[in-house]
Structure 1
């Protein structure tokens, strides 16, 4: 079991909760109060630690990656280390989908659920891809916002509660 710490950081899409241990990140997501009604993006908002708990400082690689994603995306580098206890190297379909998305769908690109299922090795598993996206603990890093429906609709980001966030992220990546 990992000894985890967490931090809340400001970002252009609102405050993010980041959980991590010595081995890497456990999760990154927006605070629970952000939804389509409360979402007020601020492109000029810097990445700053608002608060932290636990013994381990937030990995600088995470802060640097977030800053680059929002403010200098042409210079994006490898994502921060993910804790192997969260994303193991086993062969679960869900983790395979996350790795496939991370490695094959780059900044500014989109992919349909069906295309991602095929890339992940099971062309008939579009619904399972949707489940993997819903369970993704690494918002932005494993870019589930880049997965759309085959008809071009964005789908239901965060269960349909943060579709405006998904629109914003997709637009941000098209600039």
Structure 2
């Protein structure tokens, strides 16, 4: 299910001439704000979605936690039904000034949400972000994740550290996930805790659960 074409990471040569463009893609998980230039993709910013209180020190009872988990899964199912009933996933801002990498990005994301099987034949846009140019463990982790963890799969932080060449760097893998400038395309939502819990996510735990559920459902459909 993963794209066959590995994206390029274009250098920032002539960075002062880089003219950043912005588009907003309306998706089943909300508005995705995407930036890029003629050279490549800069960033995908996720909306923050959460059903749990943030910054709270309240100790929840097991009954309350169970109720919240049930409510979360109910919302995920509602979102999945909405995505199934509507193929709407379209650019709602910035369509008139899209660069080629932005066009490739929005086409790939549209396929991801609406026709996942097509992502295998679509090019992944070139990346144009400093983090993905520097020779670092973070870059190695993100590249390994993009290359090796396929649609509908999940991997633990420790397993990804092993794949990236440092079995003791599970904590550093978590840092790499938080730094990921291209979420969904570089699928940090597929990295979960060894316990099976989904773990943290930039768009909130609910979005991470939705993305994992979406992939699982679509993979099961394609298996029939």
Normalised by the length of structure 1, the TM-score is 0.88
Instruction: Say whether residues 1:129 and 2:145 are aligned partners.
Output: no
Q: Does 1:73 align with 2:87?
A: no
Measure, in 1, the Cα distance between the counterparts of 2:164 and 2:96.
Answer: 36
Aligned partner of 1:37 in structure 2 is 51
Residue range with higher mean Cα deviation, 144-153 or 74-83 = 74-83
Structure 1, unmatched stretches of 5+, are none
Structure with the greater alpha carbon radius of gyration: 2
Q: Distance in 1 between matches of 2:26 and 2:195?
A: 34
1:84, 1:113 → 2: CA distance? Answer: 23
Displacement of 1:62: 1.1
- Quote how far apart the aligned CAs of 1:47 are: 2.2
**Is 1:164 aligned with 2:178?**
no
Q: Contact (CA 8 Å) 1:3, 1:21: kept in 2 or not?
A: yes
Indicate the residue corresponding to 2:5 in structure 1.
Answer: none
Q: Secondary structure at the match of 1:98?
A: helix
Contact map agreement 1:26 1:86 (CA 8 A) in 2: no
Aligned residues: 170
CA change 1:72–1:55 in 2 (3 A) is: closer
2: CA distance, partners of 1:163 / 1:84? 25
| TM-score, length of structure 2 as denominator length | 0.70
Greater per-residue helix proportion? 2
- Greater mean alpha carbon deviation, residues 46-55 or residues 7-16: 46-55
**Higher relative contact order (Cα pairs below 8 Å, separated by 6+ residues):** 2
1:24 match:
40
